[in-house]
């Protein structure tokens, strides 16, 4: 992402627990013993809580069902629920392709090869950028305001977000009456629900109305309902095409309810259920002519036919079916009883291991809330945005940020939440085919560093940021990664054409570097970094990240073809091109070079937030201690030279880098750097600043990398366990090869692992000490192909226990 801008404004798990996974007590001191994952202690609940209402948006609590989002402020006079719908975007369907691009491309390439970067940048900006040169922004619907009585002193205030139920609760007492509000966003019933109740009959009175920064109108369709109608803004010369209607219906128990002029008024009720439904005219990236009013009304009417208890029960059951798959326990301490914002303020001083668990599970909570089958993919801010022109448009930045959003999806056992990415890929492949043909004269499909609801695939935002053709290569690796985790050949077969199309583009668009003879991308950049100061100083041919991505892409499409027993000729073409890519190089400082030339030492930003050329270390597996020790050492040198400073998402990536370097304490230190008020908001949102949700997801994935790595066709158990977390357990992680894994450890060493083989096949375990494997009561025959590795054949559906020998 672009440089810093100023900052604005357990769960009660399933009754069954994993046999034998109880972690032993922690050393003497303030910390409490870590319990078996799957059980909740009173002093370590999975909830964010506060002693006062939210003072600003970054203190409000997020709810979401993938399609609708709400930020709940918890005020006692005017409650605000700031609202989002995942398909409310500025602009409308159109192509960004530049029809001058193809003619300009040969000259641009020659200028880059000749080192005439300012001239190349000028030509790119005039002839090769998309039209318009920026993309559409994700926008807010506005807010629902609940006007509440103001007389009397408030005491006993508390607001919280329970991650296990995905319910936000506000309670307080005024004039002897205790008021309670519960709020949640229901995926099965497609509405946001607020329940208001009072401890004394007839004590509940309030008004409900909408407000919005967009051009809107208010109305009262019936005596129980208020409505707001509006449309997304125009942007870049493209008219706003997405209309929306939001409805609020109040179902009160007792008292009177009326609606007039867009406000629902309740007087003297015992309790009330408030239902919020939102429809937009967005049908898909090519069509914004849907029936917003009809969609909102249909959702509202269906939900209104269910009593509150049923709405809540359906929501909680749906959420827990995903959330409770994975549990983490790394111990607790007295700090866990403090309000969440105070815990973030104190975390760097130590003594609060449970905040690691809370932050990890908050990442999982946010992914469940922001990304469900049938919804849009999570943006830079998930689905939560209160502005009409948010930072970076709250779009899909696919030179790291969108990919990072989904790093936890597989290892943290939320595969369904990954599904919107595959729909996004299908659509990008169609739009990107036009861009490939129009601007490169190439087959296949391409997309660059950003995209939006209209699936823009041309380069945007200027040559410095946008002239990077690798977005499709990186995004499409999700297809192969999904297969590696699931062994689902049906989905691989269905998605193979998209993966192949990404590779086809590069087979056509790569050029020969006249200096080395290697196949390279040209023009390109190493994302958002510059090798020289001045105009065009980011432009280059074949930066290291590009060749790493292409090595993965060509390898993935070849492996997919082998797996599916198809496309042998194309497989051979991909592997031949892979063999002609420029190799990774170690520079004069012992670092992994970011560019083909050793420009690193002279680059303008020595501690740049992007460390793109370490993609080969993470999330790829091209660099490892056992297979490429020289590159492994060079990657470490690069990371040391870059330093530990960074934006929120950058720190999260470094958590993963250091875990892949097998240095858990350094990785933990980066998480501690992230969990500070400068990089984590009071509501635990990640701060670039401003808010970007990728840091939440990246940090969540980083914790899984401490406990389990599976990138080399083997399961590395506790590869980077921080010494700060010597005792604990985890349940329900997923590993490549089709395994589900439970682990417990004591004194920093493996106590027991439980492996469930979802797919049969070879199993390789890498452990610090020798282990024995049993299934049922029977020993499993194993081999030792190399020191530290135990191998056996796993049967689909079988469960294996792994213990120290």
The pLDDT, as a whole number, for residue 126 is 98
Decide: 431 and 95 in contact? Cβ < 8 Å.
yes
The pLDDT, as a whole number, for residue 150 is 86
3-state secondary structure of 403: helix
Cis ω for the linkage preceding 132 (within 30 of 0): yes
Alpha carbon distance 371, 367 (integer Å): 6
The pLDDT, as a whole number, for residue 90 is 98
Domains and CATH numbers, the chain: 47-90+137-325 (2.70.98.50), 106-130+395-604 (1.50.10.10), 728-804 (2.60.40.1180)
138, 106, 137, 139: which is closest to 123 by C-alpha?
106
The pLDDT, as a whole number, for residue 151 is 87
Alpha carbon distance 495, 330 (integer Å): 38
pLDDT over 60 (residue 373): yes
3-state SS track over 108-132: HHHHHHCCCHHHHHHHHHHHHCCCC
Mean pLDDT of 422-448: 98
- pLDDT tens, 730-757? 999 999 999 999 999 999 999 999 999 9
Mean pLDDT over the full length of the chain: 94
Cβ neighbours of residue 724 under 8 Å, at least 6 residues apart? 350, 353, 665, 668
pLDDT bracket for residue 664 (50, 70, 90): very high
Mean pLDDT of 360-387: 98
**Greater pLDDT, 21 or 788:** 788
pLDDT bracket for residue 10 (50, 70, 90): very low
CA-to-CA separations, 450 to 190, 401, 575, 577, in angstroms, rounded: 29, 10, 28, 26
Helices (H), 376-470: 401-405, 419-435, 463-466
Mean pLDDT of 212-229: 98
424, 420, 387: which is closest to 137 by C-alpha?
387
Structure tokens at 261: 């002029």
Mean pLDDT of 185-198: 98
User: Range with the lowest mean pLDDT among 27-41, 182-196, 519-533?
Assistant: 27-41
Contacts of 491-499 spanning 24+ positions with Cβ under 8 A: 492/560, 492/563, 492/564, 493/564, 495/422, 495/425, 496/557, 496/560, 496/561, 496/564, 496/566, 497/429, 498/425, 498/426, 498/429, 498/445, 499/553, 499/556, 499/557, 499/560
Mean pLDDT of 331-337: 94
Alpha carbon distance 633, 628 (integer Å): 9
The pLDDT, as a whole number, for residue 758 is 95
The pLDDT, as a whole number, for residue 14 is 30
pLDDT over 60 (residue 27): no
The pLDDT, as a whole number, for residue 36 is 36
Q: What is the DSSP letter of 392?
A: G
The pLDDT, as a whole number, for residue 33 is 36
The pLDDT, as a whole number, for residue 45 is 79
User: Range with the lowest mean pLDDT among 27-31, 189-193, 459-463, 514-518?
Assistant: 27-31
Alpha carbon distance 376, 260 (integer Å): 34
User: Would the pTM of this model clear 0.85, i.e. be above it?
Assistant: yes
CA-to-CA separations, 380 to 91, 358, 360, 480, 691, in angstroms, rounded: 18, 22, 19, 23, 8
The pLDDT, as a whole number, for residue 688 is 96
Q: What is the DSSP letter of 420?
A: H
pLDDT over 50 (residue 507): yes
Mean pLDDT of 215-224: 98
pLDDT over 90 (residue 494): yes
The pLDDT, as a whole number, for residue 8 is 32
The pLDDT, as a whole number, for residue 74 is 98
pLDDT over 90 (residue 88): yes
pLDDT over 70 (residue 4): no
């Amino acid at each position: 992402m672009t440089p810093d801008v100023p900052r604005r404004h357990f769960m009660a798990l399933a009754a069954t627990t994993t046999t034998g996974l109880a972690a032993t007590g922690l050393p003497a001191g303030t910390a409490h013993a870590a319990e078996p994952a799957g059980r909740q202690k009173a002093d370590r609940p999975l909830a964010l809580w506060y002693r006062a209402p939210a003072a600003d948006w970054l203190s409000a609590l997020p709810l979401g069902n993938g399609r609708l989002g709400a930020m709940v402020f918890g005020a006692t006079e005017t409650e605000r629920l700031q609202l989002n719908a995942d398909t409310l975007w500025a602009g409308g369907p159109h192509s960004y392709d530049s029809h001058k691009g193809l003619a300009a491309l040969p000259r641009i390439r020659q200028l880059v090869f000749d080192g005439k970067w300012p001239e190349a940048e000028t030509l790119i900006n005039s002839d090769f950028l998309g039209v318009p040169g920026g993309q559409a922004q994700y926008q807010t619907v506005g807010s629902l305001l609940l006007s509440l009585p103001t007389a009397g002193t408030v005491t006993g205030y508390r607001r919280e977000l329970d991650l296990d139920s995905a319910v936000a609760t506000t309670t307080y007492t005024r004039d002897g009456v205790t008021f309670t509000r519960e709020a949640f966003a229901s995926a099965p019933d497609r509405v946001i629900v607020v329940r208001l109740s009072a401890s004394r009959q007839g004590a509940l009175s309030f008004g409900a109305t909408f407000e919005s920064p967009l051009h809107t109108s208010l109305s009262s369709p019936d005596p129980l309902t208020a409505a707001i109608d509006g449309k997304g803004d125009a942007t870049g010369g493209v008219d706003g095409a997405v209309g929306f209607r939001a409805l609020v219906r109040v179902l009160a128990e007792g008292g009177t309810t009326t609606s007039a002029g867009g406000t629902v008024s309740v007087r003297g009720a015992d309790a009330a259920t408030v239902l919020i439904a939102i429809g937009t005219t967005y049908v898909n990236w090519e069509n914004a002519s849907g029936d917003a009013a009809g969609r909102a009304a249909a959702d509202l009417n269906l939900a209104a036919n269910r009593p509150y208890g049923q709405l809540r029960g359906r929501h909680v059951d749906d959420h827990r079916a995903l959330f409770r798959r994975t549990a983490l326990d790394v111990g607790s301490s007295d700090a866990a009883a403090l309000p969440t914002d105070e815990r973030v303020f104190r975390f760097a001083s130590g003594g609060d291991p449970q905040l690691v668990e809370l932050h990890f599970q908050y990442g999982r909570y946010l992914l469940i809330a922001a990304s469900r089958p049938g919804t849009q993919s999570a943006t830079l801010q998930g689905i939560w945005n209160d502005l009409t022109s948010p930072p970076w448009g709250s779009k899909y930045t696919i030179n790291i940020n969108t990919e990072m959003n989904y790093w936890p999806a597989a290892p943290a056992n939320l595969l369904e939440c990954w599904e919107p990415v595959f729909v996004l890929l299908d659509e990008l492949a169609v739009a990107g085919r036009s861009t490939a043909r129009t601007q490169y004269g190439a087959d296949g499909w391409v997309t660059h560093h950003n995209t939006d609801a209209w699936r823009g695939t041309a380069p945007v935002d200027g040559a410095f940021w946008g002239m990077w053709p690798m977005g499709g290569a990186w995004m499409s690796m999700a297809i192969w990664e999904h297969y590696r985790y699931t062994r689902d050949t049906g989905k691989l077969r269905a998605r193979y054409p998209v993966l192949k199309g990404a590779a086809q583009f590069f087979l056509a668009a790569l050029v020969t570097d006249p200096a080395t003879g290697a196949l390279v991308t040209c023009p390109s950049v190493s994302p958002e970094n510059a090798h020289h100061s001045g105009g065009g100083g980011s432009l280059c041919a074949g930066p290291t990240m590009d060749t790493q991505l292409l090595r993965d892409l060509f390898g993935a499409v070849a492996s997919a073809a082998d797996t599916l027993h198809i496309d042998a000729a194309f497989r051979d073409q991909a592997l031949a091109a892979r063999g002609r890519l420029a190799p990774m190089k170690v520079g004069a400082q012992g670092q992994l070079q970011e560019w083909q030339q050793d420009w690193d030492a002279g680059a303008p930003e020595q501690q740049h937030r992007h460390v793109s050329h370490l993609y080969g270390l993470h999330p790829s597996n091209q660099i490892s201690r056992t297979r490429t020790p020289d590159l492994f050492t060079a990657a470490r040198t690069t990371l040391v030279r870059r330093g530990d400073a960074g934006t929120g998402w950058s720190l999260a990536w470094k958590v993963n880098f250091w875990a892949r370097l097998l240095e858990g304490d350094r990785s933990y230190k980066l998480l501690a750097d992230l969990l500070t008020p400068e990089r984590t908001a009071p509501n635990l949102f990640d701060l670039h600043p401003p808010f970007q949700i990728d840091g939440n997801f990246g940090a969540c994935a980083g914790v899984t990398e401490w406990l389990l790595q599976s990138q080399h066709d083997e399961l590395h158990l506790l590869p980077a366990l921080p010494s700060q977390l010597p005792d604990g357990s985890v349940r329900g992680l997923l590993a490549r090869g089709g395994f589900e894994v439970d682990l417990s450890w004591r004194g920093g060493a493996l106590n027991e692992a439980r492996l469930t083989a979802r797919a049969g096949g070879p199993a390789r375990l890498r452990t610090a000490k020798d282990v024995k494997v049993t299934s049922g009561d029977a020993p499993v025959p194993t081999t030792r192909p190399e020191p530290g590795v135990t191998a056996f054949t796993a049967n689909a559906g079988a469960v294996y226990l792994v213990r120290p020998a």
